[in-house]
Amino acid sequence: MEELIKKAIEARDESYSPYSHFKVGAALKTRSGKVYAGTNVENASYGLTVCAERVAVYKAVSAGEREFEALAVFTEADELTPPCGACRQVLWEFSKDMLIILANTKGEKRLRLSELLPMPFERKEF
């Protein structure tokens, strides 16, 4: 999984964050072994900003992927940066037990998505 963190670090370098100056990199590993990376993309209309995690998920899903094994999130913040609530819900849609790796320059922490999102919104009937 060190390779996945490396991809998240590389993605962070591409962050478009002129408003917050908070650079985030994410790398998502599919069950088939591919990696899709994403970074946060901000906008002058702040609410249109998209997090790094969702960029990675949307890239992967657009490429036909539906099952994910792990997500690494890297920032240089002193405290580890967990995915925001919206990103947790988007990840949950696809792989409920995925491994989430939070990393910064000091270290890393691994946990399951189900720990981060204990009561997700789900629709079982349509």
- Judged by the rule CB under 6 A, the positions of this chain that interact with ligand THU are 17, 20, 22, 24, 40, 42, 49, 51-53, 81, 83-84, 87
Q: Which residues, 6 or more positions from 23, have their beta carbon under 8 angstroms from its beta carbon?
A: 12, 13, 15, 17, 39, 40, 75, 76
Closest approach of ligand THU to the CB of residue 83, in Å? 5
CA 126, 96, 55, 46 torsion: positive or negative? Answer: positive
Closest CB to ligand THU among 35 and 73? 73
Closest approach of ligand THU to the CB of residue 68, in Å? 16
Closest CB to ligand THU among 44 and 126? 44
Question: Regarding beta strands 35-39 and 25-30, do their DSSP bridges make them parallel or antiparallel, or are they unpaired?
Answer: antiparallel
Q: Which residues, 6 or more positions from 47, have their beta carbon under 8 angstroms from its beta carbon?
A: none
Closest CB to ligand THU among 8 and 51? 51
Closest approach of ligand THU to the CB of residue 24, in Å? 4
Active site residues: 53
**Residue 9, both tokens:** 């670090």
